Amino acid sequence: MYSWENPDDRVAIVHMNSELRQAQLELLSAHCATHQLRLRFSTDDLARFGQRDILRKSLQAAAALSEYYTSIESKIPAVEAEPPAPLPEERIGEAIELVSSYLRDQRERYFHSAAPLTQHQKALMWPYFSHALLDQVRVVELNGERLPNPPFYAEARALGFANLPEITHMHSLTFLDVVVFNEKVTERCLFHGLVHAVQFEVLGLERYTELFVRGFINTKLHFSVPLEAHAFSLESKFMGSRAHRFSVEDQIRLWVKQGRY
C-alpha cells in the first residue's frame, strides 16, 4: 500500500492520478455515446435489433467496470455532508456574472502573449473548424507555471459546491478565442479547446456562461455539464475515425437548436 510519506510512493501516486484522469475522460466519452443511444432508441429496440456480438461485448465491459469501481467505492472513507440548499435566482445571476468577468479578464490577460496557430496545427484541425476560426484563435503554452483557480472559488465552496474543477489540473482552459495550456499542446487537447472556442462564438459569452453555471448547478460535476460533455463527445469522435470528418460548428448549432445545452 502506498504512503504519502515515502518519496517514491509520492511519484507513483502522481502517475496513478494522471492515469485515473485519463480513464475518467475515456469513461465520459463512453457515457456520452451511450446517452446518445438512450435519446434515440428504446431499450426494447436495442435488445431486439442491436447487433448481438456488439451488445454482448458492451454489456460485459459495462458490468466489469461497474464491479471494479464499486469495489473501490466501498473502500472510500465516508464523508457526511448536508446537501447545499437550492440557490436563489439572485445568487445564480451573481455566479454567472463572476464567471463571465473571469473569462473576459483572463482573455485580456493572455491575449497579447498568445500566438496564432501554426500552419501545421491549422492543417490538422481543418475542416473540423472554419478557416476564420483557425485564423482567429490564439494559444498560450505555459512553461513552469499553471493557471491558478479563480478567486471566487472560496465563495462558491462556502455555498456548498465541493466539486469545482481544479483549473491547475486541467490540460487547458478556453477564454473565448484564447486557449491557455497548462501542459504541452497536443492534437487532442487542441481540438477540445477549439470546440469551446466555437461554443463561445455560437452562443456568445453571456449565454455560454449562463448555460455552464446552470449546468453545473444541476449536475454538480464539471464533466457532466452539457457544454463540457459535448466537447468530450466530439473529441472522442475526432480521435475515432479520421475518414469521416465533420463540422464542429454544425454539431454545436444542432445541439443549440435541439435545446440540449
DSSP letters, 99-153, are HHHHHHHHHHHHHTT-EEPPHHHHHHHTTTS-HHHHHH-EEEE-SS--PPPPTTH
**Angle between helices 7-40 and 226-240 in degrees, nearest 10:** 90
What global pTM score does this model have? 0.72
| CA nearest neighbour of 113 among 166, 190, 175 | 175
Task: Report the first-to-last Cα separation within the chain, whole angstroms.
Answer: 43
Cα–Cα distance measured from residue 101 to residue 107, given in angstroms and rounded to the nearest whole number: 10
Residues in a beta bridge with 179: 139, 174
- Statement: residue 7 has pLDDT above 70: no
Cα–Cα distance measured from residue 261 to residue 212, given in angstroms and rounded to the nearest whole number: 8
- Statement: residue 125 has pLDDT above 70: yes
- What integer is the mean pLDDT of 224-243? 86
Cα–Cα distance measured from residue 216 to residue 210, given in angstroms and rounded to the nearest whole number: 10
Question: Any idea where the domains of the chain sit in the sequence?
Answer: 7-73, 89-257
Q: What is the mean pLDDT of the chain?
A: 88
Q: What is the reported pLDDT for 82?
A: 57
Q: If you ran DSSP here, which 8-state letter would residue 223 be given?
A: G
Q: Amino acid identity, residue 28?
A: L
- Statement: residue 113 has pLDDT above 60: yes
- Strand stretches in 176-258, DSSP E: 178-181
Q: What is the CA radius of gyration of the chain?
A: 20
The DSSP string of 162-188 is -----GGGSSEEEETTEEEESS---HH
Q: What is the reported pLDDT for 138?
A: 98
Q: Is 259 exposed, middle or buried (0-12, 13-18, 19+ CB in 10 A)?
A: exposed
